[in-house]
A = this chain, B = another copy of it.
Amino acid sequence: MATPLDPQRTIDELKELRALTGDEDGAHRVAFTPVWAQARAWLQAKLEELPVEVHTDEAGNLWATLAGASERALLLGGHIDSVPNGGWLDGCLNTLAALETLRRIVATYGTEPPVTVRLVDWADEEGARFGKSLFGSSACSGTIDMEEARRLVDRDGVRLPDALAEHGIDFERIRESGRELAEAGGYIELHIEQGPVLLDRDLPLGAVLGTFGVERHEIIFRGQAAHSGSTPMNKRKDAFLAAARMSPEIYAITERHGGVCTIGSCRTQPGIVTSVVAECTITLDQRHLDAESLARMLAEAKEASERFAGEAGCTVEWKRLWHIDPILFDDELIGMCDDSIREVAGESLRLPSGPLHDAAEPARVGIPTVMMFVQSLYGISHNKIEDTREEHLAQSVQAYDRLVEKALHWLARRS
């Protein structure tokens, strides 16, 4: 197979986009803003150089379709939007790698590949302006909460429906975009890892198993305020001490089950130096790729909280803030992802994704999905210092292209 794939072109285009839509403070492609529209127009112009049909759906997602021998479609997904002061790779690396792969497919198969191949640039993955991530992909999958989304307002008081209207989108019709998925038989997305796992193992690439399920709670310990000087230690009902004693146990439970957890905030009432804490509120975020393990982590954490509260003469209450089930990617596609990585880089690693991604949306409505991660220097993203070595970027485009090629034939066999 003579491949005209040119990973260096992708790197050059990433730099071109950075020059066009970023500055020394990072990327500024916040969805539904003029800079984002500019980035979109730039991408669309490049797509229109190819023999593809290009349109925007009812939710603002940009589609480029190369019709194949079969109507069954392999989707190559990504998002060109960024957080404010964002990195240069999250997530436009995915759309630009998909663009390069689309070019390679045209070079290989002309205008009739074995199955239809579609690039999708989802609208507003980050949710940076309205606080609601995965907007375009969840509208398309139909999982979006319309009541909640209708009420969203940005910092300037602009309502989401009004911001959408400025970009030609009728909020009440966004779920009609769901028709785009009618023939979808697979979904593939490349993304920079937003953590340090690949960096620590000194590996350029990894195959993603799915996105973590999340249990997010507020835990309120209630004891009794008492004078810090006149109250003997054994007469206290110290809500902070109950929370403090419990915390390492919560982390130990997480370690046993192989998940992650974070106590992200702690507030105390009355919160003065001369009083025992009467009320201590902490937030707990627990994540696991396995639903049953996540449920056990939660149950054991609740047990631990009751025990430590009881020992301190306190009570404890849990309030759920948010919850999402784990979303597992497709075993066969994960295998092809592994194979492609090994062909390019010698070694692959399977790892879960802590953050959510657009890929979760097609996956949760039953479309076989996989993601590929490329190493992030410093393990950091959502930050202007986000970076990946160019050598690894080139490898990611190569491995991604091989994965798409394998999936294309896999889908042709299934169609």
Contacts and interface: CB of A to CB of B under 8 A. Distances in A.
A324 to B, nearest CB: 11
B244 A260 contact: no
Interface stretch (A119-127, A248-256, A291-299, A392-400): A248-256
Contacts of A235: 195-196, 200, 379
Contacts of A228: 260-262, 264, 285, 287, 354
Contact of A232 (B195, B238, B244, B283): B195
Contact of A212 (B195, B229, B243): B229
Contacts of A238: 262-263
A230 B355 contact: yes
A218 to B, nearest CB: 8
Contacts of A273: 216, 262, 264-265, 283, 285, 321
A276 interface: yes
A197 interface: yes
Contact of A260 (B231, B264, B266, B271): B231
A232 B196 contact: yes
B263 A240 contact: yes
Which secondary structure dominates where chain A touches chain B?
mixed
Copies of this protein in the assembly total: 2
Given A240-B247, A276-B264, A287 B229 contact: yes
A353 interface: yes
Interface string A263-295: 111111001111111001001010100000000
A273 B321 CA distance: 10
A309 B140 CA distance: 47
A11 B360 CA distance: 75
Given A216-B273, A233-B255, A255-B233, A266 B263 contact: no
A334 to B, nearest CB: 19
A245 interface: yes
Interface residues of A, number: 55
A224 to B, nearest CB: 10
Contacts of A197: 232
A283 B228 CA distance: 12
Contacts of A272: 264-265, 283
Contacts of A244: 243-245, 247-248, 263
A357 to B, nearest CB: 11
A194 interface: yes
A83 to B, nearest CB: 12
A412 interface: no
27 contacts: A194-B230, A195-B227, A195-B230, A227-B382, A228-B285, A228-B354, A229-B287, A229-B353, A230-B379, A231-B260, A231-B354, A238-B262, A240-B247, A240-B263, A240-B264, A240-B266, A241-B247, A243-B244, A244-B245, A244-B247, A262-B273, A263-B277, A265-B268, A265-B271, A266-B280, A273-B283, A273-B321
Interface of A: 193-197, 200, 212, 214, 216, 227-233, 235, 238, 240-241, 243-245, 247-248, 251, 254-255, 260-268, 271-277, 280, 283, 285, 287, 321, 353-355, 379, 381-382
